[in-house]
Amino acid sequence: MITVSWLEGPAPYQAVWNDMRVFTAGRTPDTPDAIWLVEHEPVYTLGQAGKPDHVLNPGHIPLVRSDRGGQVTYHGPGQVVAYCLVDLRRYGLFVKEYVALLEDAVIAVLNGLGLEQACRKDGAPGVYVPGRHGLAKISALGIKIRNGCAYHGIALNVNMDLTPFSGINPCGYEGLETTDLEHCGVHVSVVQAGELLARHVQHALQQRLSRGKSCYT
């Protein structure tokens, strides 16, 4: 069973991050997996091994050093974040497979909304769509594994102020273009996008489980 719940938002990043760590630390083999959907208050987050020099001009937006993988990204209103609290052993998933599963779920959502050119980019986790000058990032991904269980997850830009991305090198890439569904001509609400995202992640994990993959140790 995978529960899905919306957190009240816009929510402060630090509080949700703390709740994820508490949830993961208290898990047992019988704890159901969960997907938490939320919009955040404006915040830059820097991954555990992220380089501070990718933060160019944060201005009034706070910066939080997180324990997820990856470099720096921005969260704010108009973006849905799906925090996936998943026991990878339950599905026999290794980290690279899990990352690919999450990316596939985002691509499936975008394909269903008419963005059929949504894709991955070699060496740069996340999901991209055609932009003004090549590929533009529409979804960022970062995870943390503790005792075989994952937390953090995926962010999908829906209808947001993209200006704060100019204050950083998004995900550590200078000049990387970012976009959202609205700029791609897709008019959906944050709630609609979040529900679609959760449904596709649920489906992918349940399919994995139904194939009877043996767990690793």
Which of these, 45, 67, 40, lies nearest to 58 by C-alpha position?
Answer: 45
Q: Is 184 a catalytic residue?
A: no
Strands (E) in the chain, as ranges, are 2-6, 33-38, 43-46, 63-65, 72-75, 79-87, 127-131, 134-146, 149-157
List C-alpha distances in Å: 156 to 88, 137, 147, 200: 22, 9, 27, 13
- Given 119, 171, 184, 215, which residue is catalytic? 171
Type of residue at 52: P
Residue appearing with tokens 């599905």:
91
How many other C-beta atoms can be found within 10 angstroms of the C-beta atom of residue 140?
A: 27
Residues marked active site are found at 171
